[in-house]
Structure 1
């Protein structure tokens, strides 16, 4: 609540929490000791009567009763912002040059993440310092905004928004907050999308799905076009759900969460009975995200599968480039005799479809290419198709994990 000074004391007013701010900062003290302060301000005065030389002219925010002994204080002086933190064994002081004297709001964010302390101005990192130390704050301290407890450091400009976080904000999230401006953040701010147009068929009865948080790139806050990317710290808990077009029997389908290959990605494996009767399956992912201005959002994405399924491939096309040529025979000889990596789609390497991969397979490819006396087994080298001896027919022990290999220019769509 605002508190006005008693006459004839100093001019100005202060907004104070009215009670200990330990609810906000206990997590900082007991946990990672990371925190962040976000402000949108304008009309910052350049001179404040009575301010000591070198001292910030006005106080924007403070945790503590006495400015000299505060847990932290964020002030503004002529063309700069100054953050001071009470830490052991060494206090932290970081400043950044930023002219906020005009009528247009400036976005200023301070972030502490371990020993790394950073100032961001209008979404871009502008100053940093590395200072080792721990926070040794009193949990009795109140939170003050726009003045100190003594009412001697009034901020007479405009505070459009003030937000305090008991965790570090990633550079991506800071850039996004600037991009969305003073409006409420969009929900969700990092939507989830499935990034593989086709599922990864990794073995008989197993399908891998991969989802990724897509970075926000736009907004009305003057930062349109920003693409700050995604940081794993922006994401929280993950839930996978399955639903089907008909009731499933026990053991028909189950889902297993796996470690993702890259930050900001989520991966799951669908296990299904290879003899399952046809069914449409919906796979939903829901990811909770880091709170933004006191609000936690979740993002969802849904992938549709039709089971049973297996990969479509061209037999003999080991590298998945859309053609069967001499490079495929060389690749087969390489992993058979030179210890090179096996193809992900072993069915493609089984040129004669005898259920084995041996020297006869590159021989079939060479005869097909140069003698014309041998045909490559179905589905053949020219069109995509299923393995007639795959999991939905008479099974062999070979499967197609991912076709084509990542980066290949041509391939087939899974059925």
Structure 2
């Protein structure tokens, strides 16, 4: 049985279900909740949580089930909840009134394609659409979602294309024998083959009309339903499922029998419950903290003590506190606090954003024995808190971390450079390095440092994958890069490169034929000579370099010599040649050179 808050009394030891299986072999209407993996709860009929006090959950409850509902996979088509006792007053309602708001927040398991550890959140409201003949019609629609929802489903569920988030159509009315009847159905008004009519909330609030929902929406917020003052309350819940391609199976709100016309793919379930009322509004039953450990990769329930093996230096476990009980029928909102009681210092981490959430991840980076604790509090005074803990044994024996693979490139290659105007610079690039190729998703870091050399060079951005090193003194320099994949072992590798720095070239050195001082011999050198000789362009900085045939004069034959060499297979320019820097071996009357490409 379930104990209802504000009405006094103590709860009985267990809930009771009268389960009607209307189809042979169709007992698997919904996937079983986490607790059903325990031996004592193998009977699915008795394992489905109370339709009022707790949601019907799946073994992939939360995030994965939410994705199934979001994409129109098998879910709930209709539900009717009949509560005996209490009174309903709709006289103060008008179309357009908001009679309640809610939210469904789930923790995305680590390792999912989008941001693991983020929150999958849906916020919705209940709005009256009509009040007539002792009944109020309403819709439940989404008002906003977290960014992770849009990333997961690929659209914005609150836009016009998706029915402005309209997901549930419902009705609340008085029961003929006293009490209240609440019924709702999946919204199909604007359904098309490519458009689901909004986003159903996650299992945290499915079915929507739990005891917290009835009390919060219809009793405290809108004050249209008043629970009885004493005695027990009988509750009959009927749930009918649907498939995406059988929308016609979703019945209208006024359907008398939700289990009529069921077939092999349309399932129906009836749950009877007896709720005991409390004697005093001041009574508060203590909560019970419960920790359920789940493997976040395959969603299997793990027994206490939990044993984990690290992979790539880490191990994860998903701990659910949502199965904790407030002791008063699920009406009270619980506060959650997770902590690490025991274990190697620094070896485990609870993300800050889940320390006070109903579920949490724990990330382990060291082997050892850990104790993880949960404390829940209902905030109603007296014995209002409860604690639980779970043991996690982490082993690193089967783990392996390959050292990083360093890929080091230089520019120029080889890195033999000459001082020019007193300095010289080389670019070092290790960006193609990786974590070792053992299948881990690892972010590597870099550290550049000088190992040897006549003086200290200047290393720019020493912690970036690509850096530039500047020298001002000739000599041999040894530069090392260390790559770290942050694994638990063999996490660093290094590579060295020797850089030879030579002094500037002697005055008067040049490359024969390089009239434009570009360091290369090409057609622009011939053009430079012709523009100077015949069009009045600037005199080359090194007329000896422009003397391509080394006849001691600058004339048209120099351009002809270059063009014949470049395009007709003519002889190369005389010494010092087109590639090597040097002085003119023959005396001539040409002016002194101011040639820069040799580093002078």
Same fold by TM (over 0.5)? no
Larger radius of gyration: 2
* TM-score, with length taken from structure 1: 0.39
TM-score, normalised to structure 2's length? 0.30
